[in-house]
Homo-oligomer: A and B are copies of this chain.
Amino acid sequence: MSGSKCARLQGARLQQLLDSVDSILFDCDGVIWRGDQPIPGAPQVINLLKRHGKRVFFVTNNSTKTRRMYADKMSTLGFDVTEQEVFGTAFCCAAFLQTACGLRGQKVFLMGSQAMRQELEAVGIRQTGVGPDHVSGGPGDWANVPLDPEVRAVVVGFDQDFSYMKLNRALQYLIQKDCLFVGTNRDTRLPLEGGRAVPGTGCLLQAVETAAQRQAQTVGKPSPFMFDCLASQFGVERERCLMVGDRLDTDILLGSNCGLKTLLTLTGVSTLEDVEGHEKSGCEERRKMVPDFYVESIADLLPALQG
Contact = CB atoms under 8 A, between A and B. Distances in A.
A20 to B, nearest CB: 37
Interface string A163-203: 11001100100010000000000001110100011111011
Nearest to A175: B197
Chain copies in the assembled complex: 2
A167 B210 contact: no
Contacts of A189: 171, 211, 213
Interface string A147-171: 0000000000001111110011001
Interface in A102-147: 132, 134-135, 139-140, 142-144
A163 B168 CA distance: 12
Nearest to A134: B132
Of A139, A140, A202, which is in contact with the most chain B CB atoms at under 10 Å from its CB?
A: A139
A133 to B, nearest CB: 10
A226 interface: no
A47 interface: no
B192 A213 contact: no
B197 A210 contact: no
Interface of A: 35, 132, 134-135, 139-140, 142-144, 159-164, 167-168, 171, 175, 188-190, 192, 196-200, 202-204, 206-208, 210-211, 213
